[in-house]
Amino acid sequence: RPSSEGLGTATHESRAVIFDIGSGQCKAGLSGEQVPRSVISTVVGYPKFKHVMGILSFTYPLENGLVTSWDDMEKIWRYLYEQELKLKPSEMPVMLTGAPLNPLSHREKMAEVMFESLQVPALFVTLPALMALYASARTTGLVLDSGDGVTVTVPVYGGRYLLHSITRVDFAGRSLNCHKYHG
């Protein structure tokens, strides 16, 4: 288990659950800790055949940074809470990362699932690029974030991202792998 030694005395009440959700991986942990407690693939498996165990078909609930199956995304969040973090969603506020330039309807649906289905007490949604810059103890810089489904550049000045200058391309790691193997 990661240690939070030397990071202050954050109490259970002042901590938050952190979810960094990407098209390829989900990272989950608690504020005040150096590393995520859990890193899992963003995939849900379903039995392919009714009477055959162990053969699954897989769904990927995120494509290019957008949730394509909210039911599967909720299953992943529940799994992270219950199996990986051993917490109830109602116990702590949550901070989620989301790809920049996603439609407002996407963030609204994310909030709906978090508040209504999972019953979280508070929610904050931010950009993973902004959190990466903060983690390097900087408040100004240019972040290039190329994940599994989305590549973005995010300029940040004085701790605020410059929305009009963000660029996003739905071409990233998965696209490169597909191109490499399928020519």
Q: How confident is the model at residue 84 (pLDDT cuts 50, 70, 90)?
A: very high
Which CATH architecture best describes the domain 12-182? 2-Layer Sandwich (3.30)
pLDDT, one tens digit per residue, over 125-154 is 999 989 999 989 999 999 998 887 888 999
Q: Answer whether 96's CB lies under 8 Å from 124's CB.
A: yes
Sign, CA torsion 120/77/88/9: negative
pLDDT at 121: 98
Is the whole model's pTM more than 0.85, yes or no?
Answer: no
Sign, CA torsion 25/78/96/27: negative
Q: What CA–CA distance (Å, rounded) separates 133 from 96? A: 16
pLDDT at 180: 59
pLDDT, one tens digit per residue, over 21-36 is 988 899 999 999 999 9
Q: Which residues does residue 141 pair with via DSSP β-bridges, in sequence order?
A: 156
pLDDT at 65: 84
Q: What CA–CA distance (Å, rounded) separates 134 from 150? A: 20
Q: What CA–CA distance (Å, rounded) separates 25 from 61? A: 11
Q: Answer whether 44's CB lies under 8 Å from 61's CB.
A: yes
Q: Is the pLDDT of residue 55 over 90?
A: no
Q: Which residues does residue 66 pair with via DSSP β-bridges, in sequence order?
A: 63
Q: How confident is the model at residue 99 (pLDDT cuts 50, 70, 90)?
A: confident
Q: What CA–CA distance (Å, rounded) separates 107 from 33? A: 26
Say if residue 97 is exposed, middle or buried (CB neighbours under 10 Å; 0-12, 13-18, 19+). Answer: buried
Domain ranges in the chain are 12-182
* 83, two tokens: 């199996």
DSSP class of residue 113 equals: I
